[in-house]
Amino acid sequence: MSDYVKSSPHFFRIVKLSFVAMIVVLLVLAFFISAPLQGPADISHVPNPSKSAWFLMWTQELVSYTSLMVYLILGLGLVFMFLPWLPISPVADQASWLGKEQKVVNVLVLTSFLGILFLTVVAMYFRGENWSFVFGF
C-alpha cells in the first residue's frame, strides 16, 4: 500500500482545480459565444443543403454515399460496445497510452476517430446545394 496516498487531499486537489477551471471557462466564454437562433420554423421553406446537428454530420456524410453505410455505422458501434469481450482486447494489468498488447484496437480507434473527424469537417464546411462538394471558405 506504500504507493497509495489518500484521495483527500491529494486527489481532491486536482478534482477541485479541474471543476473550478471548467466552470470559469464556461462562464467566461458564454459572454462571447452566442447560441445560434434563426427565423421561426417554416416547413414550406426547405434549406438547401439541410444539415443535421454537428455531432451527427459524419453519419449524414457517410449515408450520402449510399444508405448501406448505415450498417457500417451500426457495425462499428457494436464492435466498440463489445470491445472488452473481443480477442483483440487482452485482460489489462497495467495502464499505458497506446499499449503494444492492444495494437489492433489502437489502429481501429485512431482510424475511426480521424475518419469521424474528417467526415464531420467535410459535411460542415464543404457541402453546398444538393450536397455537392464546395469550398466553404
Residue number with CB closer to another protein (50 or 132): 50
CA 118 – CA 112 distance, rounded (Å): 10
Enumerate residues 56-95 that contact another protein by CB under 8 A.
Answer: 56, 59-60, 63, 67, 70, 74, 80-81, 83-85, 89-95
Residue number with CB closer to another protein (8 or 137): 8
Structure letter (DSSP) for residue 90: P
Q: Tell me if 24 contacts another protein by CB under 8 A.
A: no
Q: Tell me if 103 contacts another protein by CB under 8 A.
A: no
CA 49 – CA 78 distance, rounded (Å): 30
Q: Tell me if 15 contacts another protein by CB under 8 A.
A: yes
Helix/strand/coil for 127 = strand
Interface residue with another protein among 31, 65, 133, 135 (CB under 8 A) is: 31
The answer to whether the Cα torsion of 32, 33, 39, 41 is positive or negative is: negative
